[in-house]
Structure 1
Amino acid sequence: MLSEAMPDQERLSEVDQEILGQVTWSPEKARIYSVEQYFRESCWTFGGDLPRMLGITLCMLKAEATAGRRLRPAIQALAGAGFRPVDVVVFRHGRQTIREVWRHHFNIATRDRVEAMDLILPTTDTVCLVLKDTEWQPGRMPAAIRLNSLKGPADPAQRLPEHLRHQLGVVNGLFNFMHCSDETIDVFREIAVLCDDDRRALMRERVLADHDALPEVLAAFDTLERTHPAHDFDHGLSWKRLLGAPGAPGELAARRAAGEEVALAEVMACTRALPYEHPNRWDLLTVITHLLEDMNLPGVSPSVPNVTADWGGPR
């Protein structure tokens, strides 16, 4: 938490300084978010319920979680860690939501990474779980930070069996199945990215009523898995399947089979031209994740500080 509220002369919005002091440990982040309309709108909805909201977090199960059949394993792993859904929002990512959810981290992303996310995330719906941390008590680490600490590092070599990414069998840096809000200030902000006034009001009712959203979550899983075939994310098998595909996907695979190098930009252009429901789309997306070499720009830091389990640590 912030050790001090921002001085009055630095206030740039009407957001209560006491709220800012409890939803983030970073004064810099507090200043940036206090003027963001998404965060302001969530403060209008949830600002009076801060003690309850510190025990709430978000986990977005992304498009590849449906294709890779990680939806049910994810909800089971979350339950095992003490998180249960009190609401669920199913939505389809588009260019705007991708940029707004990752706004404060995209400054470090390479162009290829951004373009790959634009191709992957809108392919199927994302399931946003609004989770209650059943272990949270006043004065304890906020739910968002505890979930992030359990998610585990991006580097597979550093993951432990208790990490959610280990349990879900994350494929690579892009097929990682879930996005979790960094801390409570991000929970507020991302809710408003996805939800208008009326939907936020319903979410507030459900949070305060300790609603059991599990039946809705499982119904959403059923619908998605009934609509979208499973995929194995196997790079070699994807190229083999593409070899027998008609049109541009098959032509790319034939060139590769003949020993010609196929560039990332070509696979992206081919994928961009296909509808979301094309039977070879996930094969092409799998190839893209293997051809993508650089996810982040060297020497560039996120525009807001990273949050770790050392909550309330360095200012």
Structure 2
Amino acid sequence: MLAATMNRVDPDDPLAGLQVGEHPEPTAPEGWSVVTVRAASLNHHDIWSLRGHGPRNAPLPRVLGSDVAGVDESGNEVLIHSLINDPAWTGDEVLDPRISMLSDFHDGGLAERIAVPTRNLVPKPAGLSFEHAACLPTAWLTAYRMLFVLAGATAGTTVLMQGAGGGVATAVIMLGKAAGVRVWVTGRSEEKRERAVALGAAAAFPPGARLPERVDAVIETVGAATWAHSMKAVRAGGIIVVAGMTSGSHPPLDIERVYLANLRIVGTTMGSRHDLEQLVRLVVDQNLRPPIHEVIPLAETQAGFQAMLAGDLFGKLVARP
């Protein structure tokens, strides 16, 4: 079958380790299912893996892709919760110490077929396309958990989203607007700031800009480049929710402000299966659809990742076998 695989790591030239070609068909052990992939979106997680930031003992080659929607062996339309747990784990999936992300130790979804634990299958509503469904399990799930579960955003809350054009950012804007949350964003380009406002952001600012007032919560996925601004932007008693570090992992930390302003800094990875079910329900009820930059054939995955590295995207890139 056709698949986009990671064959080696290269910190300086991540796409040197990417190959799009034939790969063995998946097999499903007991408790697992084979899903025929209809759509899979590209993620920065794939780029980080190609740079060598994944688990050190992860097997090679392996298929990339953690956002997947398709059809299971019984003909059910599904999307896949992309956190793989220890089968014995019974609590919140994200707290499992042995948790891994789809494509870390197991083949991911940038392929024609994929094997996953059957418990990871979530029904896809008929009114949601495979392409839109394939945008939800990583970026949109992360945004949902950051915004509602951890930041506790409700109608009237003001939230700052650092970065305007990525998958998490567009999700925070759209989900926040649907819930009555005032979402401010920062963005490097005027075009992305304008598109964020058109999507539903209440205001958009250049990176590091002085805000009209301090916010209740900051959604932080950029890391070193925006961290000092995030620390200054949040109000006393507010919260910074962190789920990424696309600009670097060693930001300055103003410890004095953390304790004097009673700030909370909370990290998260993805979300639970329950969170994903709630997200799907919200998306359908509010008639939300993730912005898609482009749908490309699976065979053109390399060009898709090149566009992602160039940073010229607004919304998700979706590959279709």
Q: Which structure would you say has the larger RCO, counting Cα contacts within 8 Å and 6 or more residues apart?
A: 1
| Larger proportion of helix | 1
| Larger proportion of strand | 2
Greater radius of gyration (CA):
1
Say yes or no: TM over 0.5: no
Compute the TM-score of the two structures, normalised by the length of structure 1: 0.28
